[in-house]
Amino acid sequence: MSERLVWQDVETARERIEPFARRTPVETCRTIDATCGGTVFLKCENFQRTGSFKFRGATNAIASLSPSERARGVYAPSSGNHAQAVALAAKLHGIPAHLVMPEDSNPAKVAATRGYGARIVFCPATHEGRREMAARVGEETGATLVHSHDDVRVIAGQGTATWELIDDVGKLDLVLAPVGGGGLLSGTLIAARHLLPHVRVIGCEPEGADDAARSLRTGVRVTDFVPRTIADGLRTPLGENGFAILRRDLDDIVLVSEREIVDAMRFVWERAKLVIEPSSAVAVAPLLVGKVDVRGKRVGVILSGGNVDFAPYFAALDGQAHGPRSA
């Protein structure tokens, strides 16, 4: 049972988030174009505040709260980008935020979330433990849940990225976005279809977390699976609202292997000089390996985020001597 979501919700979201979110740039890369034969426009949500598109949806949800809801604050379970997004959006609105994070969360992400002034409540690193702790925090605080991907205000907020992209570059033949919980892809679909009725929208998903592909194939939403992918933003099961929107409108889902994800991430780092996280690479990989034919086409790709932990790289570097070598 999904709530109805329409283009006007994206318009409202854009007005709401404009004072807070960054209008991110669109980048191009000659080597990517040469590799796939199309003209590719990279919507750089890795440059968004908190390092991912999640800030758009969180801001839209929080900006739409009533005064009494604001007073009680918001809560959300998340170990990743959504936690940081909710924390900063809440801070900018001057309201309390309670983030329920698994105890094995990346310390850098916990520190960033806390750095925005949010309260962190740790929970066991299981679906069950997370659900229980989130329910308890909701009850105790009376705060409003900001769901990471199934809240319609969140989905509408994510759609604003595609709107900006099309504003900047004009007509596109295809738009590619990664799919995890489905919030970004649903928002992308609503915005792209409204602005460009003939555009093809393609979801990109890891083989190791292919619940959206299976859900759309069978018509029954798959929620019980163990994700095995480096793309940590895409391990979440597809939400109800996202499922309804994708079923109605999505053109296709393309699956990519772990090898393809890592190779695409490396390609974008080394050739496009953009720091993107594995979840973003999932939407680039199909172009690089030819799983989507974009020859002669204008293609938009939503680079969803850039939150990479470089600690291992720098730990290794610190162990090295920096010998002299002329350039």
How many Cβ atoms from other residues are within 10 Å of residue 14's Cβ? 21
> Using CB under 8 A, which residues numbered 299 to 318 contact a second copy?
306, 308, 310, 312-314, 316-318
Binding test (CB under 8 A) with a second copy, winner from 233, 242, 286, 300: 233
Q: Please list, residue by residue across 33-52, b when 16 or more beta carbons sit within 10 angstroms of its beta carbon and e when fewer do.
A: bebbebbbbbbbbbbbbbbb
Residue 96 or 227 having the CB closest to a second copy: 227
Residues 6+ apart with CB under 8 A from 104: 125
Query: Is residue 4 a contact residue for a second copy (CB under 8 A)?
Result: no
Between CA 82 and CA 20 the distance in angstroms is 16
Least separation in angstroms between CB 198 and a second copy:
30
Binding test (CB under 8 A) with a second copy, winner from 124, 142, 266, 293: 266
Between CA 248 and CA 139 the distance in angstroms is 35
Query: Is residue 43 a contact residue for a second copy (CB under 8 A)?
Result: no
Least separation in angstroms between CB 264 and a second copy:
12
Between CA 145 and CA 167 the distance in angstroms is 32
Identify the three-state secondary structure at position 266. Answer: helix
CA atoms within 13 A on the CB side of 102: 13
> Using CB under 8 A, which residues numbered 275 to 294 contact a second copy?
275-276
Residue 44 or 255 having the CB closest to a second copy: 44
Which residues make up the interface to a second copy (CB under 8 A)? 22, 25, 27, 30, 44, 46-47, 49, 51, 78-82, 102, 104, 125, 127, 130, 148, 180, 208, 226-230, 232-236, 258, 262, 266, 269-270, 272-276, 306, 308, 310, 312-314, 316-318, 322-327
